[in-house]
Amino acid sequence: MSENIVILLTGTGAAAVAVVRIEGPLTAEFLRAHFSKNARSGHCVHGELRDGEAVIDDVVVVLAADGGSGDINLHGSPWTAARAIELARQYGFRLLDGADGPSPHGADGETLLEREVAAWLPMARSELALRMLAAQTSKWNALRENPPAPDRLKEMAADGALWRLLHPPRVAIAGRPNVGKSTLANQLFGQERSITADLPGTTRDWVGEFTTVNGLPIMLVDTPGIRETEDRIESQAIDAAQKEIAEVDLVLLVVDATQPVETNSSEDSAMIRVRNKCDLLGRVPEASAGGLWVSAKTGEGLDALRRAIVDWFGCADVEVGKARWWTERQRSMLARGAMP
């Protein structure tokens, strides 16, 4: 029997509403117990979501054609979404964490998968993401003609390349002052976005913007140099940068290749050490445990760095023409050995 799950989908735009999706054998029973109207497959039904005599919110419910899942479109505050989820949990549904994205309802398409493609197309920030997403309907339809074994479907749940392409990671460039962070950032941005100079402390605030690295969209954050300073404004910028660094998915730790290798107890697994200014050494050493050797000034070694970034997020050498998941609904079904 299918699992009973509840997912919170966060809408987009100023007038967005929260959508609580429920899936599993308890779907119809739950709606009969807590929805004031009779939910009809394939129709938008307006009514009230209730907890006993208490009205949680004025909602629109859309029940899937097979009756096995339904979307509850809420119009109130985040508190109403939290209460609706808790109501479903008490009824026997399990919350799937991290399931956010645009709702497919209202998008063009005959099937839910086609509507999910249409809903997510505006979220594609690179040509690779766009091409891969656009191919999904035909690739999944082809698989349905000769369905893989459940074990193979479960293996496919581990391939999150398309999800990552549609959920750009945050990558911070960090390091001590005057190691070339802003010059490196400008190389990766593909334009001059950060002011560069030979004076330490030139970057007074973090600069963040989307860019594309070998087809992978990322939010690249250039931060001020981390150092002890009595400059109040620079100190505030460094504090803000440290908070920003703590929340990113990957840190590019830039060090001066002409200086002795420093050990840093704060380094962790979500970090790539970048040894910059290798042009001053007259050569680009081979990659080693000491990090990647680059020259942000001349561009040497940057191809290897770009490759390391996309490889970190599992998006190197990805095939466009392959069926993949990009929503939590799809991933959870694959994990159970079912076709989305």
The 10s digit of each residue's pLDDT in 155-198 is 999 999 999 999 888 898 888 888 888 889 888 887 444 433 34
pLDDT class of 34 with cuts at 50, 70, 90: very high
CB atoms within 10 A of CB 53: 5
What does DSSP assign to residue 288? B
Q: Is the pLDDT reported for residue 269 higher than 80?
A: no
Between the alpha carbon of residue 129 and those of residues 181, 213, 323, the distances in Å are 28, 12, 13
Nearest in space to 294 (alpha carbons), one of 195, 173, 156: 173
Which DSSP string corresponds to 34-57? HBSS---BTSEEEEEEEETTEEEE
> SS3 for 94-130, per residue?
EECCCCCCCCCCCCCCCCHHHHHHHHHHHHCCCHHHH
Query: Which pair of structure tokens corresponds to residue 311?
Result: 């490889």
Query: Could you tell me if 218 and 176 are in contact, meaning their C-beta atoms sit under 8 angstroms apart?
Result: no
Domains of the chain: 1-103 (3.30.1360.120), 108-164+318-340 (no CATH), 170-312 (3.40.50.300)
pLDDT at 229: 45
pLDDT tens figures, 64-117: 877 888 889 887 666 787 788 889 989 998 876 545 566 676 678 888 899 889
**What size, in residues, is the chain?**
340
Q: What are phi and psi of 150, to 5 degrees?
A: -50, -40
Q: Write out the two tokens for 252.
A: 């590019």
* Burial (Cβ within 10 Å: 0-12, 13-18, ≥19) of residue 283: exposed
Q: What is the reported pLDDT for 302?
A: 93
Which residues are CB-contacts of 294 (< 8 A; sequence separation ≥ 6)? 184, 274, 275, 276, 278, 284, 300, 301, 302, 304, 305
Q: Decide: pTM greater than 0.75.
A: no
